[in-house]
Each structure stands twice: as structure tokens, then as C-alpha cells.
Amino acid sequence: MLALTKHRALVPGEVVLFTRLPGLGPKTARKIWQELGITTLEELRQAAEDERLRRLAGLGARSEEKILAALSAAAEP
């Protein structure tokens, strides 16, 4: 439990929320945060719209489309 608490303290709060999006696991969330400096869901949306996520190994246009769809679905009431 202590390790989890320590880990959460090192990761910006909304980065943890990235993993709630379908198809986006903790390794990919960490890569997005560390390599692109993205720490909020809004920044994630903007990066996907600007096609910046595909610069990362393992992510492409399809990944960006899925992330945008998941963010849109999460925003619906």
C-alpha cells in the first residue's frame, strides 16, 4: 500500500485518469506524460487533435481516434 501511495505522489493527478480511457494503460499514460509533458485530460484531447500522440512509439492515428472518442463519450451526460 505504501508503494502505491508513493507512486501516486510522483504522478500528476489527471495522468492517473488517462488509464480509465479504453485501450490506454499505465505504461502508455506514463509515456504520454513523460515524453510529451501532458498532465491533464484537456491537454490529452488537444494533443490527439493536433496529431502529436502519433510521435510516440506504439501510438498512431487510430490510437488518437480512440482517445478522442473515449474523451467525447466521457464528457457526455
pLDDT in tens, 23-39: 899 999 999 999 999 99
Q: What radius of gyration, in Å, describes the C-alpha atoms of the chain?
A: 12
Give the three cell numbers for residue 38. Answer: 501532458
Say which residue, 5 or 39, is predicted with more confidence. Answer: 39
CA distance linking residue 36 with residue 69, whole number of Å? 20
CB 33, CB 12: distance < 8 Å: yes
Q: What is the pLDDT of residue 9?
A: 54
Split into its structural domains, the chain has a count of: 1
The CATH number of residue 66's host domain is: 1.10.150.20
CB 15, CB 39: distance < 8 Å: yes
CB 67, CB 53: distance < 8 Å: yes
The residue segments making up the domain with residue 43 are 2-75
CA distance linking residue 11 with residue 55, whole number of Å? 22
Q: What is the pLDDT of residue 76?
A: 74
